[in-house]
Amino acid sequence: MKENPQETTHFGYQTVDKEKKVSLVGGVFDSVAAKYDVMNDVMSFGIHRLWKRQTIDSSAARKGQRILDLAGGTGDLAARFSRIVGPEGQVVLADINASMLEVGRTKLQDMGIVGNVDYVQANAEELPFPDDHFDVITIAFGLRNVTDKDKALRSMLRVLKPGGRLLVLEFSKPEQELLNQAYDFYSFNILPQMGGLIANDKESYQYLAESIRMHPDQETLKNLMQAAGFENVDYQNMTGGIVALHRGFKF
């Protein structure tokens, strides 16, 4: 019987049934959750902090706003947003993975951040929030792990207020071929070894490297956001295009 392409998707370089991808990705993040922050610093040489700072700056978040940090993991963005919106505002740290969400909850509570942050286990494709609810939505290094990106983007648009903005921070396509070659070598030869040494999990970081390569490039993601209904979509390359910050509005 001929395989129905609508029922399969990518898990790294593998082709898997769509219904299996969520559990496979879940297994990856269950495995890496405890060492996630350490590996982020090691993998990016700390530069991920600058990428996230630019995301915060581009959000134009203000006191009293309601913000969704989707696929928020260990809460780097949520912690900063909590301070910006203050006690009158609300931050929702949402992640599909319970292990990552628990690491984020513990981390923020240890930082003394309580009161204006809620923690919700949620699938980006079917967000459990009302229409027109959030002023800002961010998703940092999470969209590439979503099974149906089109459905997820439409779900984000639905819960975003008119005038609100979505910010997608994600690994992307380096602008220069020499940088692209060097990045490939690093991703497939060094990164999995780091994962094995630091997180005792070489396989998960092999998947993460593959998932980056399978993610849409800058222009393709821009087109996906526009097709989902976002307007004035643009993007900013950072670190030579290794990472791109996409921004779109709901009007």
What are the binding residues for S-adenosyl-L-methionine?
74, 95, 123-124
Q: How far apart are CA 14 and CA 31, in angstroms?
A: 19
Residue 88 has what DSSP assignment?
T
Distance CA 121, CA 127 (A): 10
Q: Which residues contact 6 (CB under 8 A, 6 or more apart)?
A: none
Structure token digits, residue 44: 């990016």
Per-residue CA distances from 243 to 55, 143, 188 (Å): 11, 13, 17
The helix or strand, by DSSP H or E, that contains position 80, with its residue range, turns out to be helix 76-85
* Residue partners of 150: CB distance under 8 A and separation at least 6: 224, 227, 228
> Which residues participate in the annotated binding site?
74, 95, 123-124
